[in-house]
Amino acid sequence: MTQILVTVNEDVTTKNIRKAIELLKGVVSTKVFKAKSGNDMKTLKQQAYVKDSLERAFGELNQASSDGTKL
């Protein structure tokens, strides 16, 4: 499964965008997450950074183990 993150301005009606995305072929589900303040956005950015770092480290670990080398 592949996920796509779409960020929209508060000016745009989220309901209409969600309906349009649901009409696309292959869409399984849609969810709306609202950031409440600047601190929440900072937390989301930090979580994305940690996730990216862990995925990269896991990939390097898998690559090293498949090559038979040590990190």
Alpha-carbon distances of 69 from 31, 38, 60, 61, 65, rounded to whole Å: 42, 43, 11, 10, 6
Cα separation of 43 and 3, whole Å? 20
- Per-residue pLDDT tens over the stretch 25-65: 998 888 887 766 666 778 888 999 999 999 999 998 888 88
Q: What is the pLDDT of residues 18-32, one digit of tens each?
A: 889 899 999 888 888
